[in-house]
Amino acid sequence: MDIDCIIESILFAAGRPIKIKTLSDVLNVSVDDVKESFYRLKNSYVSNNRGIDVVMINDSIAMCSNEKYAEYIKKALGLDIKQGLSQAALEVLSIIAYNQPITRIDIEKIRGVKCEKAINTLLEFNLIKENGRVNAPGRAILYSTTDDFLKYFNLPSLKDLPPLDDVI
């Protein structure tokens, strides 16, 4: 059984991150075996200067395009999330990333203005998600970032966000 080829096939077919534990269970191998396979695939793509890559996002693995070719992909597919995001949406996304989970009301307190439109845009681009509700009257929705957020900004995990002092 060629674990690397099987994992590569699963990631390609899925088109989304797959939990390392799921891959381990499906292949009946250890989590460490899956991680070793990830690193072999990663090294193979890098050393052969391939147009695709694999990334580890939290406890999942995903296949993606090589970031060196992002400009061409965006042009070919008409994609540019940043172009589709207003300054307000980027500000709201930053607030959510550094303060998650957070409610719309708390975001508006930080920004000083309404942010419903920005939140809807971020939900549409799947950069944020609803992450439960506050256990208080009104049961406000809590928002947090998604794996797509990590993938788009090339972050392995939220721990890799730059320190807030560096951003401001």
Residues 64 and 38 reside in one and the same domain: yes
Select from 15, 37, 70 the last residue of a domain: 70
- Provide the residue count of the chain: 168
- How many structural domains comprise the chain? 2
The answer, yes or no, to whether residue 131 has pLDDT greater than 80, is yes
Q: For residue range 78-117, what is the model confidence (pLDDT) as tens digits?
A: 666 656 678 888 899 999 999 999 999 999 998 889 988 8
The answer, yes or no, to whether residue 162 has pLDDT greater than 70, is yes
Q: What is the pTM of this model?
A: 0.59
Select from 70, 92, 122 the last residue of a domain: 70
Spatial separation of the C-alpha atoms in residues 18 and 11, rounded to whole Å: 7
Does 39 fall in a domain?
A: yes
The answer, yes or no, to whether residue 19 has pLDDT greater than 80, is yes
Spatial separation of the C-alpha atoms in residues 18 and 24, rounded to whole Å: 10
Residue 155: domain span: 80-167
Nearest CA to 107 out of 90, 123, 92 is that of 92
Q: Spell 99-116 as b/e; 16+ CB within 10 A means b.
A: eebbbbebbbeeeeeebe
pLDDT greater at residue 168 or residue 133:
133
Select from 70, 89, 113 the last residue of a domain: 70
Place of tokens 């939140």: 119
Nearest CA to 31 out of 9, 56, 1 is that of 56
Percentage of the chain surpassing pLDDT 90?
A: 50
149 burial type by CB count under 10 A (0-12 exposed, 13-18 middle, 19+ buried)? buried
Beta strands of the chain (E only): which ranges?
18-19, 52-57, 60-65, 102-103, 128-133, 141-145
The answer, yes or no, to whether residue 146 has pLDDT greater than 80, is yes
What does the pLDDT read at residue 79?
A: 60
Does 75 fall in a domain?
A: no
Q: For residue range 56-76, what is the model confidence (pLDDT) as tens digits?
A: 988 999 998 888 887 787 777
Residues 88 and 120 reside in one and the same domain: yes
